[in-house]
Amino acid sequence: MPMAEEALFEYHLYTVEKPATLKNNQAKQISLLFADSVPMEKKLIYDSSLGEKVLAYLTLENSNESGWNASSKRNHENL
């Protein structure tokens, strides 16, 4: 699904080709960016002070060498 990006003050506005319909109080994820084979590290952290919640962190390098450079992604054809 092609997507257009435009600067909006200090934010970015992403316009997707197809509408995303939400019902009252519904949440939905929409893929904005796509990249294949980007190496990343996944960390699961358990903090007993948070109860039974487990925090998930994904870390990746924002560079052309890693296959992912978010600042250079402008045309997202593979959504």
Domain ranges of the chain: 3-72
Report pTM. Answer: 0.37
Write the CA distances from 1 to 15, 19, 28, 45, 65, integer angstroms.
11, 11, 16, 34, 26
Q: How far is the C-alpha of 61 from the C-alpha of 50, rounded, in Å?
A: 28
Task: Tell me the average pLDDT of the chain.
Answer: 76
* Highest-scoring range by mean pLDDT, 42-46, 50-54, 65-69: 42-46
The whole-angstrom separation of Cα 31 and Cα 73 is 14
Highest-scoring range by mean pLDDT, 2-11, 12-21, 44-53, 67-76 = 44-53
Question: What's the mean pLDDT in 40-62?
Answer: 86
